[in-house]
């Protein structure tokens, strides 16, 4: 805790950033989220996929990001067919860094119909071998957390279990949206790899992974029973990596 002799400004460089991000679709307000101001274009792409506004990166025609005082304004121009679908289920969503369901108006919107992923017969042997030692590799990729801490991270692992990308945010759901946006933006086959989260595995992370078409979701903390049940129903493999014990597989082994 800072003392009276320690100016707060001297500590500000070590604090995590958090800003309102106002998302507009075709210049109409859609959502206001609280997020770390990094990789915002990827964040919005992933967020719109997770909210069923788009299904592919090509559904976005343009993204413009501007700053107004302490907030960021992101205006996204989407394809007409996506806009028509959105208008049919128009809603206002105010997000926070908390549970991820805040602002959702109905249970249908909170728990949309999810696709069923292709069933996996086995996990990649290379990925399975890497998971037992991967914890020690994560910190080298978390460049923002090195300065401030208090940031969640989402990693993309290829089929060999190697880390390809990392996205960070104060909100675990935002970090995952940023990673999904990265995958879409770069045309990466989301069926050939796995997502690893530094956070606990909540239901919304399961939903986002299924909607992105990713077959495996790995977390450093245990999933909820609801998350395990939902994942099993849609063929998403969940893996927990404890601090000391071997990985736990909720699904195939």
Question: For position 72, what pLDDT does the model report?
Answer: 97
User: pLDDT (tens digit, 9 = 90+) per residue, 49-97?
Assistant: 999 999 999 999 999 999 999 999 999 999 999 999 998 876 444 444 4
| Structure token pair of residue 57 | 């990166």
Q: Which of 99, 102, 166, 201 is catalytic?
A: 99
Query: Which residues are bridge partners to 238 per DSSP?
Result: 217, 250
The reply to whether 99 belongs to the active site is yes
Rounded to 5°, angle at Cα 244 from 234 and 176: 40
Q: For residues 21 and 43, is the Cβ–Cβ distance under 8 A?
A: yes
Ranges of the chain with pLDDT below 50: 1-11, 91-98, 101, 103
Task: Write the DSSP string, 181-224.
Answer: HHHHHTT--TTSSEEEESS-B-HHHHHHHHHHT-SEEEESSPBP
- How much of the chain, in percent, has pLDDT values that exceed 70? 85
Question: For position 113, what pLDDT does the model report?
Answer: 85
Question: For position 102, what pLDDT does the model report?
Answer: 52
Question: For position 6, what pLDDT does the model report?
Answer: 44
Question: For position 13, what pLDDT does the model report?
Answer: 61
Question: For position 140, what pLDDT does the model report?
Answer: 86
Q: For residues 156 and 164, is the Cβ–Cβ distance under 8 A?
A: yes
């Amino acid at each position: 805790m800072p003392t009276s002799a320690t100016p707060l400004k001297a500590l500000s460089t070590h604090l995590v950033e958090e800003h309102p991000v106002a998302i507009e679709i075709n210049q109409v307000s859609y959502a206001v989220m609280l997020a770390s101001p990094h990789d915002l274009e990827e964040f919005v792409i992933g967020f719109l996929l997770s909210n069923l506004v788009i299904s592919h990166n090509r559904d976005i025609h343009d993204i413009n990001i501007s700053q107004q005082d302490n907030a960021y304004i992101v205006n996204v121009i989407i394809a007409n067919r996506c806009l028509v679908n959105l208008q049919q289920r128009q809603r206002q969503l105010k997000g926070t860094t908390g549970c991820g369901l805040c602002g959702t108006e109905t249970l249908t919107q909170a728990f949309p119909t999810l696709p069923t992923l292709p069933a996996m017969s086995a996990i990649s042997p290379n990925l399975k071998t890497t998971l037992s030692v991967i914890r020690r590799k994560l910190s080298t990729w978390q460049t923002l957390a090195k300065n401030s801490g208090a940031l969640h991270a989402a990693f993309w692992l290829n089929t060999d279990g190697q880390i390809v990308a990392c996205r960070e945010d104060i909100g675990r759901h935002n970090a995952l949206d940023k990673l999904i946006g990265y995958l879409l933006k770069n045309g990466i086959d989301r069926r050939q790899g796995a997502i690893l989260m530094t956070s606990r595995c909540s239901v919304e992370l399961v939903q986002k992974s299924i909607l992105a078409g990713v077959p495996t979701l790995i977390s450093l903390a245990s999933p909820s029973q609801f998350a395990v049940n939902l994942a099993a129903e849609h063929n998403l493999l969940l893996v927990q990596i404890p601090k000391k014990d071997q990985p736990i597989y909720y699904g195939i082994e």
